[in-house]
Amino acid sequence: MIRQLSIRLAGNIHIDERTDTPIEILIWRALLKIARILVAHKGASPELRARLEEVTSANPDRYLSSCVDLLKLVWPTVERPFVDAALHLADLSTIDREVFRVVARFPRGDEPERTAIVDWLGGASLSSERLEALGTSLVLDDEADAARGLKTLLALASLAGTPVALAFDQIEGTIRLGPDAVSTFLEVISSLYNDVPGTVLLVFCQTMYWPTLREQVSLHVRDRLEDTPRVILKGLTKEEALLIVETRMKHFWDSVAERPSDPLFPLSREQVLTHVTDGNLRTPRAVVRYFQALLREPPPRGGVPRNPSVDVKPEDIVRRKLDTLLAEEKGITRPPDLRAEIAQAVTHDVFKQALTSRRKIREALVEEVSLHRARRSTIDGVRIVLSRDGERKRVYLESSNSQHGNSAASTMRRFADVLETNQADMAMLLREEAFPLPPAAQKALAKLTPRGTVLRFAEGEVATLAAIESLLNAAAAGDVPVDRKTALNLAVEQLEPNLALESRIVDSAFPTQPDEAPITLREELPEDESDERHLAAILEHLRTKRAFEPAAHLASTLGMSVENVHAALHVLATRELVEVVADRNRSPVALLRPEALSL
């Protein structure tokens, strides 16, 4: 949501360069609305009311930028009494106090500080120095804390009269993640409905799947969902379909210097209507997909485009869709916990595909794949039963990128429980290379060796799994002309050489040589985590190769463990030789400080 609200508005929509993103407009309007409330509130001091009356006298609804400038001017003297008085208002009773205190620093600083606040609201893992500058230690990078930030921002938007619309499309994709995923997702929607009624919630689902989703939630959630009657979208008329094609074609031709007089070129109005009728195109998605395929095909002699339903095989459309998704994933950012969920869900699907198709992986046959919940746990893992050369192994998998010590320790306790109660022969944690295990989790995992191990995702592997996830959702939504099972078969067939994940899981379960044994951590952490050799190697790389480098790249390039790299970076940051920041995927990146060059 923060990412979408941070996109700068076009000049023909909004011309004020000082407040030209929706998130800035929302925050300024909210603060000025609170100022107006305090002017009329008898609990505020006379001095504060007088200063705020000057700020709001120019009418913030009409002259926003003028009021913003006045608010910045008086903020050094009114910030503290403003925040203290605002937190006693009934209008702000639903907001999180700590989140609001950070947001209320918006008028205080220059543009970099306001940018830091927006990044913080978006869940970025800021450095301790930047967090200290914002006056907080809170990071909104897990579900509970992110909900605090989201609900506060939505409440401020409602207060400011600037409603935010949250649209959730293709929610039927949650079905394949299990009943708990469906229930949790819809409970969140219901919670937003109750807590921030000024928010616009749009939830889209295919009609055929709604009864299944509806039956998997509790009664009180179902009542909230049905408080507003569902709307069944009608099919497009031929004229509406024609308008969609014309509008999209016009947008294309407007970017070309010599554009034709008819935006439908190289088609005619009659041809478009004929294709719509013959193809029974009743939805916007079907219209766009059909004409995209049609116009990409070279026309035959005579100038009339071929019918894609005749000339293009469904399998080819799926393969092209997957290629497109793989390319798109390079520009998509997702929080680490969501990437971990995707990795676990698609790992389950890929092994399930091997089970149903009887496909062998490294000569191993998949006998069983199921979601598995350890005793006394609310977290679902995946249990895979493999057999090779008469040997049978039960592997329990979980995927996590969490860097919180308590969360990682809980994962290790589940692993120990699964192994001690003979629910599995081996426990495996799937984790991206960029994120080290917290020290307590390292020690707990070492005690499980050799039956407990970590399998690291290299950069790009999660993007491949996310592309498969998107393809399966597209199949469920009807965006590709095959069912979900066929889409998964085609994805695995096309990406099999690149899906090293399957092979590594099997090889970890059946190590044949000592050097092929599961990768485990040492039983004890090094006594001196600031090993000077590690520090020297990292500094040398940053000085001579690249002045900024992702931590995961340092580990693979220098042949060091992820944990040792992060321990060394922590020491180097303490010595003010490097700075560790998070990239757009919240993966840590080491930056060489100028001071380090002179040493």
CA distance 249 to 283: 17
373 touches 380 (CB < 8 A): yes
Q: Would you say residue 308 has pLDDT above 70? A: no
Q: What is the mean pLDDT of the chain?
A: 82
CA distance 503 to 362: 6
And the tokens for 189?
A: 């929607």
Torsion of CA 591, 595, 598, 599, to 10 degrees: -80
Instruction: Characterise 513 by phi-psi region: left (phi > 0), alpha (psi -120 to 50), beta (else).
Output: beta
- Of the pLDDT bands very low, low, confident and very high (cuts 50, 70, 90), residue 137 is confident
| Average pLDDT value for residue range 313-319 | 79
Nearest Cα residue to 350 out of 457, 507, 173, 469: 469
b or e along 52-70 (b: 16 or more beta carbons within 10 Å of the residue's beta carbon)?
beebbebebeeebbebbeb
Residue 335 to residues 222, 340, 343, 532, 546, Cα–Cα distance (Å): 29, 9, 13, 33, 26
For the chain, give percent helix, strand, coil, nearest 5.
55, 10, 35
Nearest Cα residue to 100 out of 122, 117, 123: 117
String of DSSP letters for 332-354: ----HHHHHHHHHHHHHHHHHHH
H/E stretch holding 592 reads strand 588-592
And the tokens for 258?
A: 């010599």
Helix (H, G, I), strand (E, B) or coil at 247: helix
pLDDT digits 0-9 by tens, 512-551:
654 444 443 333 334 444 478 888 888 888 888 888 888 8
Q: Residue 482: what residue type?
A: V
The most confident of the ranges 223-237, 385-399, 470-484, 485-499 is: 385-399
And the tokens for 239?
A: 């004229």
Nearest Cα residue to 348 out of 176, 564, 173, 539: 176
| Average pLDDT value for residue range 446-473 | 85
And the tokens for 427?
A: 């426990």
The Cβ of residue 391 has, within 10 Å, a number of other Cβ atoms equal to 10
- Of the pLDDT bands very low, low, confident and very high (cuts 50, 70, 90), residue 477 is low
CA distance 265 to 258: 12
Q: Would you say residue 103 has pLDDT above 90? A: yes
Please give the pLDDT value at position 312: 60
The sign of the CA dihedral 76, 79, 82, 85 is negative
Please give the pLDDT value at position 512: 66
CA distance 506 to 351: 11
**Cβ neighbours of residue 396 closer than 8 Å, sequence gap 6 or more:** 372, 374, 381, 382, 383, 415, 418, 423, 424, 426, 427, 428
| Average pLDDT value for residue range 68-77 | 89
Please give the pLDDT value at position 110: 74
Q: Would you say residue 290 has pLDDT above 80? A: yes
Alpha helices in 496-558 (DSSP H): 500-509, 532-544, 551-558
In the chain, the largest separation of any two C-alpha atoms, in whole Å, equals 84
pLDDT digits 0-9 by tens, 9-52:
876 666 555 677 889 889 999 999 999 999 988 888 899 999 99
The Cβ of residue 221 has, within 10 Å, a number of other Cβ atoms equal to 19
CA distance 149 to 207: 33
Q: Would you say residue 480 has pLDDT above 80? A: no
Residue 312 to residues 292, 308, 319, 489, Cα–Cα distance (Å): 12, 5, 11, 19
DSSP 3: H
The Cβ of residue 19 has, within 10 Å, a number of other Cβ atoms equal to 18
pLDDT digits 0-9 by tens, 328-373:
777 777 778 888 888 898 999 999 999 999 999 889 999 999 988 8
And the tokens for 59?
A: 């009418």
Q: Would you say residue 497 has pLDDT above 70? A: no
Alpha helices in 427-530 (DSSP H): 439-448, 461-477, 484-495, 500-509
CA distance 59 to 78: 19
| Average pLDDT value for residue range 155-183 | 84
Total H helices, total E strands in the chain = 25, 10
CA distance 252 to 259: 9
Residue 438 to residues 40, 550, 569, 587, Cα–Cα distance (Å): 51, 18, 14, 15
Please give the pLDDT value at position 311: 52
The sign of the CA dihedral 155, 160, 162, 163 is positive
* Domain annotation for the chain: domains and CATH numbers: 2-159 (no CATH), 165-225 (no CATH), 238-312 (no CATH), 336-516 (3.40.1350), 532-598 (1.10.10.10)
pLDDT digits 0-9 by tens, 536-595:
888 888 888 888 888 888 887 888 877 788 888 888 888 888 888 877 667 788 888 887
Helix (H, G, I), strand (E, B) or coil at 582: strand
